[in-house]
Structure 1
Amino acid sequence: MNSPYQILGVSEQASDADIKQAYLQAVKEHPPERDPPRFRQIQQAFDLIKDEDSRLRYALFHVPNVEFDALLDRAFGQDGPMRPLPADDFLKLLGTISIDKMPAKFKQKPS
């Protein structure tokens, strides 16, 4: 999935005015009546990064979606002998986990 910055074509250091200008340009190129799915994508991207508070919230709480089994395969090398990753690398991989995509066998059951 593309980040909201990529969708709007701005850098992560872009100002509020630059982001708004990129949003207006994208809406002009992809109006809702001509391309509704793309317009929704643009609108959602703008909502995520439209001001400083939104960008901070996005930076702090956004977790990219990752297939948990693929993460484990990368971490433990299912294709060959298991070799543990250095702790820093494993922690980086764990930071990419999306709880929504976690297989049921790894989720805790409610008490």
Structure 2
Amino acid sequence: MDIQEAYDRLGVDPEATPAALKTAYHKKLREFPPQKYPEEFKVIRQAYDLLKNPVKSLNFPNFWDPDAYKTLPDPALVQRVRLQVEQGQEATLADLIKLSF
């Protein structure tokens, strides 16, 4: 699950505050109680965990694996970040972390 999908799953705007994320999470839990909808609960929980702390939730490569350093970042991601910087916008923290690995 990527970050945008997590925002969509919880039904919040990417500019949402941590309090708004928590409120949306609890609203979804009332809508889909874990006892009745265990699979939906897993997805909602995964989305909330990702948005609650995106840096901690990203999958980092195994630092001891030499092949992990042979991969290049996604060219579309590089282009998107480059355009954001050229237009004077800030790139998201998650995108910058993905570029660094």
2:62 is the alignment partner of 1:33: no
- Any idea what the Cα deviations from partners look like across 1:49-85, whole Å, max 9, x if unmatched? 12xxx13x27xx47xxxxxxxxxxxxxxxxxxxxxxx
| Count of paired positions | 63
SS where residue 48 of structure 1 aligns? helix
1:7 corresponds to: 9
C-alpha separation between the residues in 1 aligned to 2:77 and 2:6? 22
2:5 is the alignment partner of 1:21: no
Q: How does 1:71-82 map to 2 (within 5 A)?
A: none
2:76 is the alignment partner of 1:92: yes
Unaligned runs of 5+ in 2: 60-73, 80-101
C-alpha separation between the residues in 2 aligned to 1:94 and 1:27? 36
- What's the offset of the Cα at 1:94? 8.3
TM-score by length of 2: 0.53
Percent of paired sites with the same residue: 35
SS where residue 35 of structure 2 aligns? coil
Unaligned runs of 5+ in 1: 63-89, 96-111
- What's the offset of the Cα at 1:91? 2.0
2:45 partner amino acid: Q
1:106 corresponds to: none
1:42 corresponds to: 44
Tell me the C-alpha RMSD between the 2 structures: 2.8
- What's the offset of the Cα at 1:3? 1.0
SS where residue 16 of structure 2 aligns? coil
Q: Which of the two has higher C-alpha Rg? A: 1
Runs of 4+ residues deviating >6 angstroms: none
2:76 partner amino acid: K
